[in-house]
Structure formats: C-alpha cells, structure tokens
Amino acid sequence: MTGWLGSRLIQSLIVLVVMSAVIHGLMGLMPGDPIDLMIASDPHLNAADAIRLKALYGLDRPWGERYLAWIAQVLRGELGYSRLFAKPVLAIIGPALLNSLILMLSALALSLLIAVPLGIVAALRPGRALDHLINAVSFASVSLPTFWLGLMLMVVFAVLLGWLPAGGMQSLSGEASGLADSLRHMALPVATLTIAGIGQYARHTRAAMLAEAGQDYIRTAKAKGCGPARLVLRHQWRNALLPLITLLGLEFGTLFSGALITETVFGWPGMGKLIADAVMGNDFNLALTALMLATAMTLLGSVLADLLMARLDPRIKLR
C-alpha cells in the first residue's frame, strides 16, 4: 500500500508539472499581456512606461525563464496578486471555491439520489417499458446542452412564472435575505446541473447492474434462497458500485473547478465563472492557480477512488 501510494503521488506530481508547463505556455500565447491592457486603459502611460513595467514584472524575458521564475515563486508559497481584483490570489479563490462546493455538492447529491434508483429499476426489468422510458430520459439528460437547459429553466421559472430569481447568489439590499433567499437563488443552477447529471449516472448504474446480474455469485445467492431485496442491495449493488466510484473519482475535480457554463449563465460567483473571467481578462496569476487547483483535485479524486475500490472489493490489490 505504501509503495503504491508513493508511486501514485510521484505520477501525480509529474502530471502536475507537465500541466503547469502547458497551462503557463498557453496563457503566454494569448494576445496581449496585463501591461498592454493597462496601457490601453490609461492614456497617460506611454511606450517607455510599457518597457519599464514589462521589465519590472519579467514579461520581457523568454518563456522558459518566466516559467522557472513562476515555479520558484509557487514553491515559496507566493501565488501573486490578481490583476482584475487587486487582491491576493488566495483571498479571491477561497470564497469562489466555497460557492462552487456548495453548488456542485448539492447538484451531485440530488443527481445520485435520483439516478441510482432509476438505474437499478431499469436493470431489474431490462427491455420492459419502464426500462425504455428511463433510457429515453437518460439520453435526453445527456444530450441537452447545459447552456440551453439553464436558459430554458430561467425563462420558465424566472421570467414567465416569476417564482425564482434569474441569477446571482443573494437578493439586493432591501429585499429578502438569509438562508431561504440563498436557496431560492441556488434552485435554478442546481436544477440545471442535476438534470444534466442524471443521465450519465443512471446509464452507468444500469450497465453495472446488468453486468453483475449474470455472475456466478448471483446464481449461488438465488440458489441459497436469498430474498430479492437482499440480493440486489447486499450483493449485486455493492459490486456494481465499483464502476460508479471510478466515475465519481473523475468528477471529483469538478467540485473544485466549478461548472463554467452554468455559473456563467446564472451569474453564480464560483470557480467556473472565476476561471472564465481570469482567462478572458488575462489575469495570469489567478487563472494559473485556479486551473492548477482543478488539475490537482482531479488527480486526488482518482487516487481516492482507487483506495475506496480496494476497500470495497478485497480482490483488488494495490501494489
């Protein structure tokens, strides 16, 4: 176990270094830089000021030197300041990360509560009318574009019916506030992510349950007189859970990177919207830190999924 964990951590570190070079290089290829944007917005700055500022921030050096300087800065725990918000990067990422966790965890929990029972029911009656109906709902969930779904929910429930706010996280001052108000603002983005996630989880659950249905241990349990409920929940579902854990491990990174499209559509101040704003605004430090955090959490989710699978299935040996 220790050797396997050490090997996975080394592999994850290598992936992080490679991804940091790729992200840093792509950010460097974007047209313009923070100094150019600063000069474009301030008519009092001239070409000489641009040269001096670029030399001050190291933007006149080759990409390799700038990348190594950034790595050294990160190793010292200095993530820099955000150009857009004029604050330390960590002070901006913290609240956005919390907002994304609230949104994504709520949507994930609702998706699993709905999708897993649907997948199990479909697998118990394959080829029947209910199975076809659940498959149709799953395919529709997977096929609907998230931005379109979000806009349609906004039109129906915010514009036509006026039941829910169209976006944001809290009402303006003077209006209703508190937990109830926050839940009303969460309703539409959470519903969008929940509907979009039901399809893949239901399909994976159904496929895993059907794969386990023909195994020898299922026939043995039936021969010993195991009841239907115990057979499904105690034996079949426990083994069918393993592929779903792998999927959830890969989805773990999205909890920390947010949902870019949904958060942008509804104006939810989470990591997805923050990353989009940072990239579009050429906020180098903020974009790099947020993207690297998402990469690190995705790798961590993969490791945790493997550990959990080994815990649930004694046949899996981590070596």
Over residues 33-52, the pLDDT tens digits come to 666 666 666 666 666 766 66
Secondary structure of 233-252 in the HEC alphabet? HHHHHHHHHHHHHHHHHHHH
Kindly tell me if the per-residue pLDDT of 176 is higher than 60.
no
**Domains of the chain from N-terminus onward:** 2-75 (no CATH), 92-312 (1.10.3720.10)
Crossing angle for the helix pair 179-213 and 89-124, to the nearest 10 degrees? 40
User: With bands split at pLDDT 50, 70 and 90, how would you rate the model's confidence at 96?
Assistant: confident
Q: Could you read off the pLDDT of 251-309 as tens digits, one per residue?
A: 777 777 667 788 888 888 888 888 888 887 777 788 888 888 888 888 888 888 777 77
List, as own/partner pairs, every contact residues 10-15 make where C-beta atoms lie below 8 angstroms and the sequence separation is at least 24, other chains included: 12/296, 12/299, 12/300, 12/303, 15/295, 15/299
Q: Are 118 and 202 spatial neighbours (Cβ–Cβ below 8 Å)?
A: yes
Question: At residue 174, does pLDDT exceed 50?
Answer: no
Q: Which span out of 9-13, 278-282, 308-312 was modeled with the highest average pLDDT?
A: 9-13
- pLDDT reading at 173 higher than 60: no
Q: How confident is the model at residue 81 (pLDDT cuts 50, 70, 90)?
A: confident
Mean confidence (pLDDT) of the chain: 79
Task: Please say if the pLDDT value at position 207 is more than 80.
Answer: yes
Q: Which H/E stretch holds residue 76?
A: none
Q: Quickly state the pLDDT bin for 228 (edges 50, 70, 90).
A: confident
Q: Spell 287-312 as b/e; 16+ CB within 10 A means b.
A: bbbbbbbbbbbbbbbbbebbbbbeee
Whether the per-residue pLDDT at 58 is higher than 80: the answer is: no
Contact partners, residue 21, CB within 8 Å, separation at least 6: 67
Instruction: Give the pLDDT of residue 44.
Output: 67
User: What mean pLDDT do residues 177-195 have?
Assistant: 83
pLDDT number for residue 113: 92
Q: How far apart are CA 17 and CA 12, in angstroms?
A: 9
- Among 192, 210, 207, 206, smallest CA distance to 141 is for 192
Contact 60, 106 (CB under 8 A): no
Residues 192 and 177: their CA atoms lie apart, in Å, by 23
Average pLDDT over residues 58-87: 77
**pLDDT of residue 310 exceeding 80:** no
The residue with tokens 């399909």 is 203
* SS3 of residue 81 by DSSP: strand
User: Mean pLDDT throughout 200-207?
Assistant: 88
Phi, psi of 81 (to 5 degrees): -110, 150
The pTM (predicted TM-score) of the whole model is 0.78
